[in-house]
């Protein structure tokens, strides 16, 4: 089993060989960019077998209505997309894949597939939020139309 320092060194070396420009931003965290998104690989010094790859803060959440849609979209995404977990905080949504590994050499070959899976999960999530938003807007428009019809009907019957 690798020490934390060995995991970080192996991760930095692997990412550099794959053409990324990794940066160690914390004792346990390496950040790299892929297709315009920042990803991080996070190890836990207290749990030598734990690692995760994270797509942090890919969707800002501006208000409670957006958060409600984001929670629904995250639930749907988590049920539909293998191995990815979308989490929703008060101000943003993130994606992650967690691993229990014996050695860092087990994780690194999965990097491309994991990044691709997180990209897919984020797109699925964003598409689902858009669908929910469109449905809510259509419902609001239909309610406005129903109110206008009700108001017209009641004004014509009051004579």
Per-residue pLDDT of the chain (159 residues; tens, 9 = 90+): 789 999 999 999 999 999 999 999 999 999 999 999 999 999 999 999 999 999 999 999 999 999 999 999 999 999 999 999 999 999 999 999 999 998 888 888 999 999 999 999 999 999 999 998 888 888 888 888 766 666 655 555 554
Phi-psi label, residue 98: left if phi above 0, alpha if psi -120 to 50, beta otherwise: beta
CATH 1.10.132.50 given to domain 4-144: no
Give the number of C-alpha atoms closer than 13 A to the C-alpha of residue 46, restricted to the C-beta side: 0
Domain boundaries, the chain: 4-144
Q: Is 107 exposed, middle or buried (0-12, 13-18, 19+ CB in 10 A)?
A: buried
Q: How far is CA 140 from CA 60, 62, 64, in A?
A: 23, 20, 17
pTM, to two decimals = 0.83
């Amino acid at each position: 089993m690798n020490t934390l320092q060995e995991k970080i060194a192996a991760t930095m070396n692997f990412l550099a060989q794959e053409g990324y420009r990794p940066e160690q931003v914390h004792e346990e965290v390496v950040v790299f960019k892929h297709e315009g998104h920042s990803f991080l690989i996070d190890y836990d010094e207290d749990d030598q077998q734990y690692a995760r790859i994270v797509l942090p803060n890919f969707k800002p959440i501006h208000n409670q209505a957006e958060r409600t849609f984001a929670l629904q979209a995250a639930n749907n995404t988590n049920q539909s997309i293998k191995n990815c977990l979308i989490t929703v905080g008060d101000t943003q949504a993130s994606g992650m894949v967690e691993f229990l590994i014996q050695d860092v050499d087990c994780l690194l070959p999965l990097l491309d597939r994991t990044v691709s899976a997180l990209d897919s999960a984020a797109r699925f999530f964003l598409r689902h939020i858009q669908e929910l938003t469109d449905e809510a807007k259509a419902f609001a428009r239909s309610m406005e139309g129903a109110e206008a019809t009700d108001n017209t009907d009641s004004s014509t019957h009051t004579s």
